[in-house]
Amino acid sequence: REFSDFVTVNTMLASSSVSAGLGEAALELFRPGDLIYIIDFPILGFLFYKKWIRLDDRSFNKRASFAITALSSMLFSANLFLAEI
């Protein structure tokens, strides 16, 4: 399996022509190890519900969080732009 392509506008517009065989292709790509990813979220939800995992209530540095968000948005945009070239 290789996930090296981005979902671009061209890919989304062409998806209607290939959607007929999409279910079969998805089942062929499925591996038993993928169950870990599928089961992970309900287990985490249960652990948070039972309060066996607690969230940290301390406040965070808003300036640093804004800087990290801005930087990650710029890097994502640059990566997506380069993928379209």
Per-residue pLDDT, 63: 95
pLDDT in tens, the chain (85 residues): 555 666 666 666 666 666 666 667 677 778 888 889 889 999 999 999 998 988 888 888 999 999 999 999 999 999 999 987 7
Check: CB of residue 82 under 8 Å from CB of residue 8.
Answer: no
Per-residue pLDDT, 19: 62
- H or E element at residue 72: helix 62-84
